[in-house]
Amino acid sequence: MDKFFTKGRIACLVIFSVLVIDQIIKIWIKTHMYWHESIRVTDWFYIYFTENSGMAFGMEIFAKLFLTLFRIAAVTVIGWFLHKFVKQGMKTGFIICMSLVLAGALGNIVDSVFYGVLFNESTHSQIASFMPEGGGYASWFHGKVVDMFYFPIIDTNWPMWMPFVGGEHFIFFSPIFNFADAAISCGTIALLLFYSKDFNDAYHATIKKSWKE
């Protein structure tokens, strides 16, 4: 069994599992919920369908295309390092963390590259359909990333005596994210907490070896 679950196969299994789970959730949300529709799970957990256009500073087509291509380039670099780290025999936990980061980034790239062509627009009055007759809402590489997890753990107003923000509405935790984002965050945090030295040593060893080659 140990011979079957090599570090390379574990990395592939993690990446495949995250991608499948992420896309199942996103496709279900996209094809079953209206844009900005909310499903209450608890007082501090909601399924809230929104989409992240990925635009940078409000710029239009060039910014979106650039962001998607940048993500692809970043994933390529991460994948290259992961391959090298597997060959170096790094710790299994380290490989899993790197695989989570890579899989999460890949999951969001799928949205950016394909969703604009595969789905029509999600609105307050229209639920998107897969492969619509009239075509998708955008061209290749210009899709929006689907987000749905919302955790308003604290939803209150600042006390009136607080300077500058007194009486204003305050929410913690306000970001809305998806499964791929969670994989990236968990992998990155675990790397920083438990494998920062391993990552630093492996990174420099890989760069040094690459220069020699």
Side-chain-facing half-sphere of 104: CA atoms under 13 Å:
19
Structure-token pair, residue 124: 């307050």
- Catalytic-labelled residue, pool 43, 181, 198, 201: 181
Q: Could you please report the per-residue DSSP string of the chain?
A: -TTTS-HHHHHHHHHHHHHHHHHHHHHHHHHHS-TT-EEEEETTEEEEEEEE---STT--HHHHHHHHHHHHHHHHHHHHHHHHHHHTT--HHHHHHHHHHHHHHHHHHHIIIIIHHHB----SS----BS-TT--SS-TT-PPEEEEEE--SEEEE--TTSTTTTT-EEEES--EE-HHHHHHHHHHHHHHHHSHHHHHHHHHHHHHHHHH-
Burial grade of 114 (CB within 10 A; 0-12, 13-18, 19 or more):
middle
201 classed as catalytic? no
Using the structure block, give the residue that is written with the tokens 């509405």. Answer: 169
- Catalytic-labelled residue, pool 147, 155, 198, 201: 147
181 classed as catalytic? yes
User: Which positions are annotated as active-site residues?
Assistant: 147, 181
